[in-house]
Copies of this chain bind each other. A is one copy, B any other.
């Protein structure tokens, strides 16, 4: 009979791995600041790109617009970001980190990098290359459709 081996099935392996890594990483921003993943991504997207719109943020961090909307609302409530209206298009708002938001970002970046470094340190150089190349290839394949 034709059987599917789940543990070798690419979608399953990817999901399982992403879930494990993401869950582990989430303890960092959760413990430190009580952030959810969408909030962390928003913070991190804004820190990386400076002032951007909610739509751009959604694209850059691969989040559904409702997630962005809610994360932005929460960070605004914390006074970690401010919205400023666009001059030309009144539907658009530009998001910018406040001093407090920037401080949180600056504090998080080294922790995030350390997490990644420690994870990759468990691999050999060729394994690191393999993951890097493999993910890039898949990203490319999905991009095309």
Q: Of the candidates B9, B61, B137, which one forms a contact with A116 in the assembled complex, judged by CB atoms under 8 Å apart?
A: B9
Provide the bound-state CA to CA distance between A120 and B132, in Å.
Answer: 16
Q: Which of A23-75 contact B (CB under 8 A)?
A: 25, 41, 44-45, 47-48, 60-62
Residue of B nearest to A122 (CB): B141
Number of copies: 2
| A19 adjacent to B62 (CB under 8 Å) | yes
Chain B residues, Cβ within 8 Å of A25: 11
From known contacts A123-B138, A134-B134, infer whether A60 and B21 are also in contact, taking CB-CB under 8 Å: no
Whether A86 sits at the interface, judged by CB under 8 Å, is no
| A2 adjacent to B144 (CB under 8 Å) | no
Chain B residues, Cβ within 8 Å of A123: 137-138, 141
**Given A11-B22, A129-B130, A130-B137, 12 new contacts (CB under 8 A):** A1-B106, A4-B48, A4-B112, A5-B48, A10-B119, A11-B115, A12-B41, A14-B14, A14-B18, A17-B142, A20-B62, A127-B137
